[in-house]
Amino acid sequence: MADSVSFPGVYVEETFSFGLSVQSGNTAVTAFIGDFPGVPAGGTRVYSWLDFTELAGADGNGDALKALGPVLKSYFLNGGGYCYLVSTAGSSLAEALEALDALRDVTILVAPGLWDQGAQAAGEWARALTGWAARNQAMAVLHTDRDHTADQAGTAVDAWNLDETARGYAAVYVPWLSQSGDDGPIVPSGAVAGAWSAVDGERGVWKAPANIVVRGIVGPLHQATDADQGAHRNLNFIRTFTGMGTLIWGARTLSETEQWRYIPFRRLANTVERDIHQALRPVVFEPNTQPTWERVRAAVDTYLHGLWRQGAVQGNTAQEAYFVQVGKGVTMTEADVAAGRLIVKVGIAALRPAEFSVLQFTQELGRA
């Protein structure tokens, strides 16, 4: 307010302070992709098994129920939350993946019919799905063919020829699952995606989704052994153990790099990237100056401190668990500042204290 006024009255001084916070988004939103007759173009959201049966009932001949019903039922039985159905009926896989771009909250991809058109098509789909996942901080939950042994499954996955970056965004589960009665076996990826959702809700995305009982099935179609698992460490097996039931036994991606070998760390990094990217969007209208950098640093620090308090990152102190860096001479050069490039570096210690994996974020400022 001005130091003095020339007449009496009530005066209100309004000051503006740019506020910024990093909010935690959904970590386990699954998109089922495939040839699903009756599913609207562009995809549709499904909240429950009942919701899906109503959608399938609206299809005149029940083709959607036949194509997807058992897998989606397994998904919801094992703890899955709302999901999307994205159909390639009348379109291509590339067009279906473009439709996913508009949904924005998808973090898990499942293709129940991955092997319907044979090994070559399965490889093409696997490369497309993992490529989309890598670009969008998501994960592709994949499976091998129905009758594959452990050795055949390993050979089939190698034949996909995924590059090393994409391999970190893919997890493969074997074998298929037997259902009760006369119903045929189903792919494991639906149940696995549901279990991921349940673990995220109960413990957090940083908890390994393993040693979890698979509900609603009789057991795996083929029984794997310790030798099978030892020979194919990048495959996640579903196994039956005496007195324990049928369990998801493994939590690895296809990556050979230690940093990205484990599903919980890859998914935690994905989550941190998505949440911080989302928070930085409004900053585009701010000047690339010290006050903006400090607000960004404080917001990201508060967010990571909350993750540390929940046990998501490792360390007896916050300094051992994470760091946030932003500023001229720290993450940005004079040229970066002049060009309106805000660069933030974040380190998280997901595996061991003080061993940081570094994520870098770049946001263009002052473009309004």
- Structural domains of the chain in order of their starting residue, each with its CATH number: 30-265 (no CATH), 286-364 (3.30.360.90)
The DSSP-derived string for 64-128 is HHHHHHHHHHHHHHTT--SEEEEE-TTS-HHHHHHHHHHH----EEE-TTTTTT-HHHHHHHHHH
Give the pLDDT confidence of 298-331 residue by residue, as tens digits: 999 999 999 999 999 999 999 999 999 999 999 9
Smallest CA-to-CA distance from 235 within 244, 243, 225, 245 is with: 225
* pLDDT tier, 59 (very low <50, low <70, confident <90, very high otherwise): low
What CA–CA distance (Å, rounded) separates 133 from 107? 8
* pLDDT value for 351: 87
Cα separations in angstroms, 147 against 153, 179, 220: 9, 15, 11
Give the pLDDT confidence of 198-242 residue by residue, as tens digits: 999 999 999 999 999 999 999 999 999 999 999 999 999 999 999
Whether the pLDDT of residue 16 is over 80: the answer is no
Three-state SS letters, 208-243: CCCCEECCCCCEECCCCCHHHHHHCCCEEEEEEECC
Smallest CA-to-CA distance from 189 within 207, 206, 171 is with: 171
* pLDDT value for 336: 95
Give the pLDDT confidence of 328-363 residue by residue, as tens digits: 999 999 999 999 999 999 999 988 999 999 999 999
Q: How many CA atoms lie within 13 A of 354 on its CB side?
A: 4
Whether the pLDDT of residue 182 is over 70: the answer is no
Structure tokens at 326: 């932003």
* pLDDT value for 40: 81
* pLDDT value for 122: 97
3-state SS assignment for residue 144: coil
* pLDDT tier, 13 (very low <50, low <70, confident <90, very high otherwise): very low
Report if pTM > 0.85: yes
What CA–CA distance (Å, rounded) separates 290 from 336? 13
Mean pLDDT confidence for 76-102 = 93
Summary mean pLDDT of the chain:
90
CB 34 within 8 A of CB 99: no
Whether the pLDDT of residue 4 is over 60: the answer is no
Phi-psi region of 335 (alpha: psi -120 to 50; beta: other; left: phi over 0): alpha
* pLDDT value for 88: 92
* pLDDT value for 291: 93
- Residues facing 364 on adjacent strands: 341
CB 354 within 8 A of CB 339: no
* pLDDT value for 1: 45
